[in-house]
Chain A
Amino acid sequence: MEVKDANSALLSNYEVFQLLTDLKEQRKESGKNKHSSGQQNLNTITYETLKYISKTPCRHQSPEIVREFLTAMKSHKLTKAEKLQLLNHRPMTAVEIQLMVEESEERLTEEQIEALLHTVTSILPAGPEAEPKRNPDAATGDDEDAA
């Protein structure tokens, strides 16, 4: 076995969630394969990974939301890795932004950080657990989720 490219593309949690859910549906339809001993590893890893990702905000995302998010992010001049982390974690406080964006004190002013938080919380849907409403924008996010 040969590895041609160990880093050909970064995947967001949403893409992996989508892939694993589709795989699960496919395998449920085909029925008998699941229980053969060879498939045990695949079953274990898909179950555990799906369980982990379902507890993150990625569960409620869709391709349109991701596209909208990336277009909105263009103006903020962030690296691919930083945008990916914002997409996967949906930070709600300035402290979290400082963790995910390198040298955020030098690159972003306070208003820019606020604007970034606003974009993140308004475009990306809130996570599956109820979150404390600290921000009026987070409240709109939760309403869309309930609707």
Chain B
Amino acid sequence: MFVLVEMVDTVRIPPWQFERKLNDSIAEELNKKLANKVVYNVGLCICLFDITKLEDAYVFPGDGASHTKVHFRYVVFHPFLDEILIGKIKGCSPEGVHVSLGFFDDILIPPESLQQPAKFDEAEQVWVWEYETEEGAHDLYMDTGEEIRFRVVDESFVDTSPTGPSSAEATSSSEELPKKEAPYTLVGSISEPGLGLLSWWTS
């Protein structure tokens, strides 16, 4: 689920923090910059693991702050393909089942990847697995708040950096603010035996 990512960055320490130990200031700045943020094509950054190398700190003319090039490792949430994860159902919609891990919310299980046959109950807005046994069909509801085991089948990164002013003018000015897109989404599947609500598989 979690990986270690090696990164390099230049950290700016303002003069009023010079009394603190350099390592602590740098750790704080790095966490301020990266914690709980998605880095494009890398994953959701959690926290600093360690600082591997500190290069010389420079003070540039005109700016009283020191700039230090830091080599460090960061803990990042980035599940590998086909990994099994356990999450909670956040809700259901016609697009599929939305699952959340608490710290990461953008997981979708599309209707084709549900245990088949499945149907969407419009009245209760919930997906249902119509499980066939000799006695007849059991309707297994996928209710909000239930724990669900799923396999990660796809991930997508969207670059949400702000676009420049020229392209913003090209799109008509009467348009609403562009829809917010999640920078990192996972697509899951529960179409195998053992996957789905935990309560379906405990004997």
Taking Cβ atoms with an 8 Å cutoff, the residues of A that contact B are: 1-13, 15-16, 19-20, 23, 33, 38-39, 41-42, 44-46, 48-49, 51-52, 56, 81, 85, 88-89, 93, 95-96, 98-100, 102, 132, 134
A19/B75 in contact, CB under 8 A: yes
* Chain B residues near A51 (CB-CB < 8 A): 102-103
* Chain B residues near A85 (CB-CB < 8 A): 83-84
Taking Cβ atoms with an 8 Å cutoff, the residues of B that contact A are: 1-9, 28, 31-32, 35-37, 39, 41-42, 46-47, 49, 71, 73, 75, 77-78, 80, 82-84, 86, 101-103, 149, 151, 192-195, 201-203
* Chain B residues near A46 (CB-CB < 8 A): 35, 46-47
Task: Determine the distance from Cα of A19 to Cα of B31 in the docked complex, in whole angstroms.
Answer: 14
Task: Determine the distance from Cα of A8 to Cα of B3 in the docked complex, in whole angstroms.
Answer: 7
B32/A39 in contact, CB under 8 A: yes
* Chain B residues near A100 (CB-CB < 8 A): 84
Residue of A9, A20, A23, A93 near B201 (CB, 8 A) is A93
* Chain B residues near A33 (CB-CB < 8 A): 28
Residue of A9, A88, A99, A102 near B3 (CB, 8 A) is A9
Residue of B32, B49, B101 near A42 (CB, 8 A) is B32
A38/B32 in contact, CB under 8 A: yes
A41/B37 in contact, CB under 8 A: yes
Closest to A97 in B: B194
B47/A42 in contact, CB under 8 A: yes
17 A/B residue pairs, CB under 8 Å, sorted by A? A3-B6, A3-B42, A5-B5, A8-B3, A10-B3, A12-B2, A16-B1, A16-B46, A20-B47, A39-B31, A41-B37, A45-B46, A51-B102, A93-B201, A95-B194, A99-B84, A99-B149
Residue of B7, B39, B82, B194 near A98 (CB, 8 A) is B194
Top-6 shortest CB links A-B: A48-B103, A45-B36, A95-B194, A41-B36, A42-B35, A9-B4
Closest to A46 in B: B47
Closest to B8 in A: A2
Chain A min CB distance to B165 (Å): 24
